Amino acid sequence: MNILIVNGPNLNFLGIREPDIYGKKSYNDLVNFLLSYGTTKMIEIEVYQSNSEGEIIDIIQSNYTRFDALIINPAAFTHYSYAIYDCIKSINIPAVEVHLSNVMDREDFRKISVIEPACLAKFYGKGFNSYIEAIEFIKEGSNIK
Ligand code: DQA
């Protein structure tokens, strides 16, 4: 099984941005954490990040056919990008939304996800482990044991 992971704007600033909310670990730490989890679970994982809405769409469109599932942390685009919603709706692999922080316990605008209806599930509030929950959810839903 293989999973495409796409991260949105400002996630490259992990460790720098609001460490009390997002933690002190860097974006590279996140990528290494995900890749090594994939290795232990025999799941092929590729991780991308972009600060641009169009680039996120290009990454998904040009790579999704090689993957069984998409995990996306659209960051702030979560709350208003109908273009990313349309992109996820237009691909025929399951998608799961993730967030590091507890988006339901912060500013009101973060409680709204326009991406959510295009996704099978949403995991949030567990830091890096939100991604692990998403990977495990995908694994459980597949026939691969
Ligand atoms: C985030 C939550 C978003 O509201 C925010 O804009 C982000 C990160 C998270 O992972 O907690 O940039 O997606």
Active site residue: 22, 64, 124, 131, which one?
Answer: 22
Residue 137 reports pLDDT greater than 60: yes
99 is an active site residue: yes
* Ligand 1 atom at minimum distance from 106 CA: 4
Task: For residue range 101-111, list pLDDT tens digits in order.
Answer: 999 999 999 99
Strand partners, 70: 4, 95
Q: How far apart are CA 30 and CA 98, in angstroms?
A: 13
* Ligand 1 atom at minimum distance from 79 CA: 4
Task: For residue range 65-76, list pLDDT tens digits in order.
Answer: 999 999 999 999
Position 2, amino acid: N
Strand partners, 124: 99
Identify the DSSP state of 125: S
> What value does the mean pLDDT of the chain take?
97
122 close to ligand 1 (CB < 6 Angstrom): no
Q: Averaged over 88-114, what is the pLDDT?
A: 98
Its pTM surpasses 0.95: yes
Pairing label, strands 44-49, 69-73: unpaired
79 is an active site residue: no
Answer for the pair 72, 95: CB distance below 8 angstroms, yes or no. Answer: yes
10 close to ligand 1 (CB < 6 Angstrom): yes
DSSP 18-58: -HHHH-S--HHHHHHHHHHHHHHTT-EEEEEE-S-HHHHHH
* Ligand 1 atom at minimum distance from 73 CA: 13
Residue 145 reports pLDDT greater than 50: no
Helix then strand then coil, % of the chain, to nearest 5: 50, 20, 35
Q: Averaged over 73-101, what is the pLDDT?
A: 98
Domains of the chain as residue ranges with CATH? 2-138 (3.40.50.9100)
Give residue 17's pLDDT band: very low, low, confident or very high (50, 70, 90): very high
pLDDT value of residue 143: 58
Strand partners, 5: 47, 71
43 close to ligand 1 (CB < 6 Angstrom): no
Residue nearest atom 1 of ligand 1, based on CA coordinates: 75
